[in-house]
Chain A
Amino acid sequence: MGIRFDSVTVAYDGNVVLDSLDLTVEPGEVMALLGPSGSGKTTALRAVAGFVRPVSGRVLLGGRDVTDLPPYRRGIGMVVQSYALFPHMRVEENVAFGLRARKAPRTEIRQRVAEALEMTGMAGYARRHPRELSGGQQQRVAIARALAIRPDVLLLDEPLSALDAQLRSGMLTELARLHRELPDLSMLYVTHDQVEALTLADRIAVMDRARLQSCGTPRELYRAPADEFTASFVGNANLLPVTVGCGGVDFAGAGLKVGTGDAVAGARATLCVRPHLVGLGEGPNRLTGTVTEIQWRGATHRLYVEVDGHTLMADVRELRDPPRHGDRVHVHFAAEDAVLLPAGVAGDGS
């Protein structure tokens, strides 16, 4: 079952927190809503769940308009950051809650609870209370509880934010496995963590200031972002203010040979280059600058190189003899690794 936002607007006391959202999640697709705090992503999810009522627009589940339906009649599973397990109930009672609410027969409840716990690797913890489990285990129970009712749509609101980095990585793998095992299940995954979105999602909807900025596959958004915000929020990006020239762009007095597409010569634009695609030393599109910061990150070194007042990030493989602070270095990038974006904040030269 797919999800469709049809010009959905949500406002609290006249303050618009979700502005005319048009978005479709295909059946069986994992859609990540990615954005900073206050971007409207959680509001969008709550509109699907039925906890906020749009002031205009429609929410459709499987083609059915559910805008006016109360949450208990929408048939969706939901997992939230705080797990929201019922503390007085054992794990098996938590998982059975939705089935009991739907008045499922006892034998079916037993069977489905066992299946859900097995699927999430929590079969051995059925008789425990939530307080006896770790954060990761509690989140698995929350997922089992949501899946036990066999929803067509699963809503996940920052489900891994309360977990430490190692657990988060493990749970991401688990969620990816669940997605493979339940190919018909549509997931709407709200997160502000680009790694979670890039790892798990089939498509990512990037949101900012209550509006949808762009939507595409992780690779599309990473390789060819449509705007500066998307470029900077999906992965790290060097955003250089440039002027479009003939067959390239001008930056800091240097001519760079990059594709300019339909851009008009003389127009201001922003050149986006990912840090890991910037090389150290001689090469095409060479720039010369001063090292202002060096960070060792295990497998890589990140260099911050100041070129004509603009700082470039370069992630290079761990160097045996890295440059020092204040050294003059050359950096370069290939033409096909640069994307020209409409001028935004960086293009304004600020």
Chain B
Amino acid sequence: MAADLVTRTVGTLPRTTPASPGPGKVPEAPRNTRPRRWGAALWALPPVLALGLFFLYPLALVVRQSLQPDTGGTSLRPYADIFASEAFRHALWTTVWLASASTAGCLVLGFLLALVIAFVPFPGAKAVARFIDVYLSFPSFLITLALLFVYGTTGIVGSFQFLTTPWGVLLAEVTYFTPFVMRPLLAAFGQLDTAQLEAAGSLGARAPRIVRQVILPEALPALAAGGSLVLVLCLNEFGIVLFTGAKGVTTLPMLVYSKAILESDYPGACAVAVVNVLISVGLYGLYRVVSRRAGA
């Protein structure tokens, strides 16, 4: 009877249904996939065209311009010139140390603030967490403008006169970019099982050990994500440096601006821009490798 049942059941299956591959075997792909493939290609075409037209094509123009010196022809001369210039090396160094220091500052400050908001109960903690989301939508120059009212020459504590120094830029960048670290951290803390913290406490661990050995390891992927985002944003930050009016602070984006607008050296500006892009892409690639290894 059981055999009859099996026979009848199998017999009712439509003929086009592929046979079961058996346990552990991968089922064969359906043979006739051409219509689906064409459909997918049609769907992909508009975004690919838009990406090519509005992003890749202008970028290619920048790269082409960077290889066409004013003397004519195509060469790497603009790159040789900017690598040889003291101004470029100084801008590169300023960009890298400012971005690195800002990122470090954002990571430390962001971690501590997120820790307090997530784990120290105080009235208004949820409102503060929501404000972080709003803060992310603010333009960077607004923060710098606000800092001018405090630390500018006519500001409340204007006597410090440090907003036009690299430290002023650092302060502005840390102030503006810290929420970019806090947002993924708060999300990660929200996922953390508070029972882990209580278990650690009952086992005799005090707050610093719980933070170091329970919370921090769980927050590392979020820290890596937020930190790498801030690093890339700081490397390319233009508005904050411009608004602080720090004359001695020339970063790569500022160098691009001065070469293109003030000196009309378009090949040089494009070469600096290409270097800037390569650094950003390289750091992003590094982040992907590190985060994959960390299991993020």
Binding site for B on A (CB under 8 A): 49-51, 70-78, 80, 82, 84-88, 97-98, 101-102, 142, 145-146, 149, 155
Contacts and interface: CB of A to CB of B under 8 A. Distances in A.
Nearest to B295: A88
Given A87-B218, A88-B218, A97-B213, A74 B203 contact: no
A97 B200 contact: yes
Contact of B203 (A70, A82, A88, A98): A98
Interface stretch (B47-55, B86-94, B138-146, B190-198): B190-198
Interface of B: 193, 195-196, 198-206, 209, 213-214, 217-218
Contacts of A74: 202
Contact of A145 (B195, B203, B213, B214): B203
Contacts of A155: 202
A55 B201 CA distance: 21
Contacts of B209: 101
B195 A80 contact: yes
Nearest to B195: A84
Most chain B Cβ neighbours within 10 Å, of A70, A97, A146, A155:
A97
A197 to B, nearest CB: 22
A78 B213 CA distance: 18
A71 B213 contact: no
A82 B201 contact: no
Nearest to A82: B195
B202 A77 contact: yes
A149 B195 contact: no
The 4 A-B residue pairs with the shortest CB-CB distance, nearest first, are: A98-B203, A84-B195, A71-B201, A101-B205
A155 B204 CA distance: 14
B193 A84 contact: yes
A101 B204 contact: yes
A75 B198 CA distance: 13
Contacts of B214: 86
Chain B facing A: main interface SS: helix
Given A78-B199, A82-B193, A86-B196, A72 B217 contact: no
Contacts of B204: 72-73, 75, 98, 101-102, 149
A255 to B, nearest CB: 56
A49 B205 contact: no
A101 B199 CA distance: 12
A78 B202 CA distance: 7
Given A75-B204, A146-B202, 12 more contacts: A51-B198, A72-B202, A72-B203, A77-B203, A78-B202, A80-B198, A82-B193, A97-B203, A97-B205, A101-B200, A101-B203, A145-B199
Given A97-B203, A101-B209, A145-B203, A78 B218 contact: no
Contacts of A88: 217-218
A42 to B, nearest CB: 12
Contacts of B202: 49-50, 71-72, 74, 76-78, 146, 155
A97 B196 CA distance: 12
6 contacts: A50-B201, A50-B202, A77-B202, A101-B204, A102-B204, A145-B203
Most chain A Cβ neighbours within 10 Å, of B195, B203, B218:
B203
Contacts of B196: 84-86
Contacts of B213: 86, 97
Contacts of B198: 49, 51, 71, 78, 80, 84
A85 B199 CA distance: 8
Contacts of B218: 87-88
Nearest to B203: A98
Contacts of B217: 86, 88
A160 B217 CA distance: 28
Nearest to B200: A97
B215 to A, nearest CB: 10
A142 B199 CA distance: 9
A74 B201 CA distance: 10
A71 B206 CA distance: 9
Nearest to A77: B202
Contacts of B193: 82, 84
